[in-house]
Amino acid sequence: MRICIVTPGQIGSNPRVVKEAQTLFDEGLRVSVIATRTLDSVEARDQSILQQAPYPIERIDLRSKLQWRSRRVTQIAFRAAHAATGLASLSARAFSAYAAPLTAAALRTPADLYIAHYPPALPAAFAAARRYGARYAFDAEDFHLGDWPDDAAYDRERRLLGSIERQALPHCAYVTASSPMIADAYAEAYGIVRPRVVLNAFPLAQAAHGPTARGCAEPGPSVYWFSQVIGPNRGLECAVRAIGQARTRPHLYLRGQMADGFAQRLSALALEARADGHVHILPPALPAQMERLAAAYDLGLCSEPAHTTNNAFALSNKLFSYMLAGVPAVLSDTIAQRAFAAGNENAMHVYPSGDSQALAAALDRLLADPKRLAAARAAAYRLGRESYNWERESQKLVELVRQSLGAPSRREAGLGQPA
């Protein structure tokens, strides 16, 4: 059975795609991936995956500025045509300049099941499945209708996206979602069967070697945050103010690529908040290293500001890295994170989003009490090992794919687990 996974992103920026591909390959399925190459800053991460992947990965090179301008001109023309006619067939190319190259690549890749990640890949999977008499599925890592602020300026984007998803989603073999509230939102928006929730957890092989009473980063005490980009609308401004207000005088460590102009803004804010010298910028690292790197810090921060509907409904990927690292998570109280933390209070601590004094108090409660911190770290590690890891979550994916293909699992076929 052949599986083709399609994403408009780079594989180095799509750990969920990589985990999915490896899982299905290990199940004995023939897997191929179609992705893009757009940013040289992600090339090191791409290469680390390309060197290890046992399945083929086609990267569509979209770095040419001349070709990009040509695609943008074409996209604008399709937008005008869609506005004039309202034809759903024009929506994909009007919505994204990625749609045409992804569709062309998918159409030359025969498969029995196409799995689309992110909306620009959905028309590609839809078209290829029709050509080859195959099935297709969609993974909703985000609630994409809620990607934009609730502002009339984004109505055209929402209409185009709605046209694409409304046409394709009802006919999917299955839809998965990365959080319960994203699943609920898709079911409500399109009247489809509620997507199966597959949390964006990480493999046990990437976990810390064991729980520790505290982090080892110096200077400390330490609070850690990481992402591909360090920039605005991530709750970091609130975090810097909290660092300056906390009695324990913690140090904030931020890992990632700094967005243009944000370093100066962050430095000025740290000086104003009396956190100067307590905010440290760390270089980006490979995705597979994130859990072991996080284990060096006392606490992990998930500071989503809920500035969009999607941001309020999503569960921060960092949360699952922190648990495998044995690091307690301090979470802003978005609707999704507050619900997830309920019942896991020993390992997760919630503060009102944007409230720096409340965040400072939450940090102090843990950092000023070594016994409480050690207990919280042990609880986080236990949750990662026992409940929130990719080994558990991936079984939901395998079940859906096997059902879609009418194929038995390796165990049902008497093959056991792959070596």
Average pLDDT along the chain, 419 residues, taken 10 residues at a time: 96 95 96 95 92 96 80 78 72 80 96 97 95 97 93 88 93 97 98 97 95 96 96 94 97 95 93 95 92 97 94 95 97 96 92 96 97 97 96 97 79 44
Residues 178 and 218 in one domain: no
Q: Angle at CA 20, nearest 5°, toward 18 and 25?
A: 95
Contact of 192 with 175, CB cutoff 8 Å: yes
pLDDT value of residue 407: 66
Residues 6+ apart with CB under 8 A from 151: none
Contact of 237 with 267, CB cutoff 8 Å: no
Contact of 396 with 175, CB cutoff 8 Å: no
Residues 174 and 245 in one domain: no
Residues 138 and 233 in one domain: no
pLDDT value of residue 415: 42
Residues 355 and 269 in one domain: yes
Residues 145 and 267 in one domain: no
Residues 166 and 212 in one domain: no
Residues 73 and 187 in one domain: yes
3-class DSSP state of 350? strand
Rounded to an integer, what is the distance from CA 349 to the centroid of its chain? 21
Is 0.95 topped by the overall pTM? no
Residue 7 within any structural domain of the chain: yes
pLDDT value of residue 24: 97
Residues 112 and 236 in one domain: no
User: At 68, which CATH number?
Assistant: 3.40.50.2000
- Cα dihedral sign, 279-285-290-294: negative
The domain tally of the chain equals 2
Residues 257 and 154 in one domain: no
pLDDT value of residue 417: 44
Q: Which domain holds residue 196?
A: 2-201+390-405
Residues 185 and 236 in one domain: no
Count the neighbouring beta carbons within 10 Å of the beta carbon of residue 415: 12
Residues 72 and 183 in one domain: yes
Q: Is 246 left (phi over 0), alpha (psi -120 to 50) or beta?
A: beta
Residues 286 and 215 in one domain: yes
